[in-house]
Structure 1
Amino acid sequence: MSERQPAPRGAQRARPGPAGGGRAWLRHHRAMLGDSALRLVRRPLATLLTMLAIAIALILPAGLWLVLDSAQLLDAQLDESATLTVYFDHDIDESRALALSETLGAEPGVAGTRLVTAAEGLDEFQRALGVDDALSQLERNPLPASVVVTPDDPSPAAVQALSQRLGQLPGVDEVRLDLAWLDRLQQLAALGQRVALALGLLFGLGVLLVVGNTIRLAVESRRQEIEVVTLIGATHAFVRRPFLYSGAWYGLGGGLLALGILALGGNWLAAPVNALAESYGARFALPTLGVSNSVFLLLFSTLLGWLGAWLAVGRHLAETKPR
């Protein structure tokens, strides 16, 4: 019996090593990424409607996000608005009032002070009434000197404690503050945060349902193809991959549409909002998402699309059995 001769060079097929397997895995991912995009492009109307539904589900939470950003800008100015007014005794002259103002500024919990002399207070009172020199005929200025105090901590409890402490200082006749609007502002901010979170979760679930239903229809339309590749040994990960990319494309497209609609809506509302603000003597610009928040919205929408596709394919792939 003759010895078995070795096979000629090139006839033996080497087993793919880890590097070759990794390259094949990457090639398949690139192929599925392009193939899923082409499938969506071939159905432009259905794809656009699905992405538009996702965009509509994202617009309201994103809009509330912008409103909360505006509230944060208002909260940044809270230190200037959350003030209390310290009124001195009527017999304190301007020099003594200046010394007391410096004393108040050195108190713990005080961020800043602004002295309003008796003459300045009378002028402000006349301007508020809309009359000039109407009270100049009075023999004695009825208004005392006062100091507007800006606290370090604008919370109602801290402001209340500071008010009680300043009211006990010598030369202080009365301390006035309005805590009702502070309480309302904080309650509205807390309510807005909860509403934004609830709507974000609710509409995020809506995105999952939209993408899941779309992917479910795609799985049903390709049921025979899935059965064939499953029969020849394809794994669930191999079968699931193109649908996951489709879901990601849907989410990314919906996020882009949401950003576009928000930008158009902001430009449309900018002129009347500016006109309304100017009528009150103020300047206000509608906030925008910015680069970081826009990227976050796109990543969030893409992740929702991917997750919705994962859930839909995982369920229907288990139900898809070879016949």
Structure 2
Amino acid sequence: MSRGAARQPPRGARSQGQGPRAGSRLRAWGRHHRAMSLDSARRLLRHPVGSLLTMLAIAIALVLPAALWLALDSARLLDAELEESATLTVYLAHQVDEAQAGRIDEAIAAHEGVARTRLITAAEGMAEFQQALGLADALGRLDDNPLPASVVVTPVDPAPEAVRELAESLQDMTGVDEVRLDLAWLERLRHLAELGSRVALALGVLFGLGVLLVVGNTIRLAVESRRREIEVVMLIGATHAFVRRPFLYSGAWYGLGGGLLAWGLLGLGSEWLAAPVSALAASYGATFRLPQLGAAGSATLLICSTLLGWLGAWIAVSRHLAEIRPR
């Protein structure tokens, strides 16, 4: 055995020495991140007016797409309520009597695509018609009831395609004269909801780019103001990641502050509009409340704003670090 081989330390001792060194490097890395985050926060607090204006610009850019998305959520809730109330009316032939109408109603209720049914006899239909028009005396003089019996059907699946298939299958039943349904309003509402979703997505992308520009311009000015300091630390061997770190934390703080302001503005706007919206809904005999962000929506807003601030800072710092050459 050679002397070099005899002098080599045991493998276990070598790994034990590397473990503490790796742990100390990890602790140092964590301490530096904590120090940079606190230092960047203190730098923002030294200029409260400028920092607040930057955060307010970010908040305004975030409020508009978030408010539109909340409006779309309320439209989707209304769409779901309207779908639940979607029905079709099956008009029976005039020669069908009440006993036959009852059997047809039972056959329709047994259909797999039908959730529930309500039979309206010819006499009940005439009574409702007289009450609605206020022509009880005039219609009471008729010898025969011209109105047929009908069955109001609530489908299991309120989708327009499924309702059309159900109407076609009910049309072929014996004793059925006509099946009437009106899905035009539901299709229009769905088209409007799809259009609103695309508009909200487009606005979100555009205003997200606006946030990147606001944060990027602010961080660019901060980099220029600390150019000499950056050149000095790069001369002594600092990496780009080391130099970039405090500016990334500044961008994240800007984004988080803008997200908190946007969250507050959305809450204030919702409270401000709650009373007139409730009054308008009550005038139509309905109850409606503006949707809130909730815990998941608030977390999504804050995470997106923080990531946008971080990304804007990363783009600005990376671009300007490539231009800085230590002298």
TM (norm. structure 2) is: 0.89
**Pairing 1:261–2:265 present:** yes
Match of 1:275 among 272, 279, 284: 279
Match of 2:126 among 122, 125, 142: 122
Matched residue, 2:150: 146
Match of 1:322 among 309, 321, 326: 326
**Pairing 1:18–2:7 present:** no
CA contact (8 A) 2:63 2:266 kept: yes
Shift of 1:94: 2.9
Match of 1:33 among 31, 37, 43: 37
CA distance in 2, matches of 1:127, 1:199: 50
Correspondence list, 1:31-110, <5 A:
31-110=35-114
How many residues in Structure 1 have an aligned counterpart in Structure 2?
Answer: 310
- In structure 2, the CA distance between the partners of 1:58 and 1:123, relative to structure 1 (3 Å rule), is farther
Shift of 1:141: 2.8
Structure 2 residue runs of 5 or longer lacking an equivalent are: 1-16
Shift of 1:112: 2.3
Aligned residue for 2:139, secondary structure, equals coil
Q: Which moved more, 1:156-165 or 1:207-216?
A: 156-165
Match of 1:184 among 179, 185, 188: 188
- In structure 2, the CA distance between the partners of 1:31 and 1:287, relative to structure 1 (3 Å rule), is same
Query: 1:254-305: per-residue Cα shift (whole Å, max 9, x none)?
Result: 1111111111111111111111111111110111111111101100110111
Match of 2:315 among 290, 306, 311: 311
**Pairing 1:220–2:229 present:** no
CA distance in 2, matches of 1:129, 1:49: 62
CA distance in 1, matches of 2:138, 2:288: 35
Shift of 1:18: 0.8
Aligned CA RMSD, in angstroms, stands at 1.9
Matched residue, 2:171: 167
Query: 1:177-210: per-residue Cα shift (whole Å, max 9, x none)?
Result: 1122122122112111111111111111111111
CA contact (8 A) 2:83 2:186 kept: no
CA distance in 2, matches of 1:44, 1:134: 79
CA distance in 2, matches of 1:124, 1:200: 50
Shift of 1:71: 2.1
Shift of 1:250: 0.7
Query: 1:103-125: per-residue Cα shift (whole Å, max 9, x none)?
Result: 11222322222222333323433
Aligned residue for 1:319, secondary structure, equals coil
Q: Which moved more, 1:101-110 or 1:295-304?
A: 101-110
CA distance in 1, matches of 2:251, 2:136: 70
CA distance in 2, matches of 1:134, 1:256: 67
CA contact (8 A) 1:79 1:150 kept: no
CA contact (8 A) 2:211 2:308 kept: yes
Shift of 1:163: 1.3
Matched residue, 1:246: 250
Match of 1:198 among 190, 196, 202: 202
CA distance in 2, matches of 1:130, 1:288: 44
Matched residue, 2:215: 211
- In structure 2, the CA distance between the partners of 1:132 and 1:293, relative to structure 1 (3 Å rule), is farther
- In structure 2, the CA distance between the partners of 1:164 and 1:220, relative to structure 1 (3 Å rule), is same
CA distance in 2, matches of 1:144, 1:153: 27
Matched residue, 1:6: none
Structure 1 residue runs of 5 or longer lacking an equivalent are: 1-13
CA distance in 2, matches of 1:261, 1:244: 26
Q: Which moved more, 1:139-148 or 1:175-184?
A: 139-148
The amino acid of 1:307's aligned partner reads: L
Q: Which moved more, 1:111-120 or 1:274-283?
A: 111-120
CA distance in 1, matches of 2:131, 2:148: 17
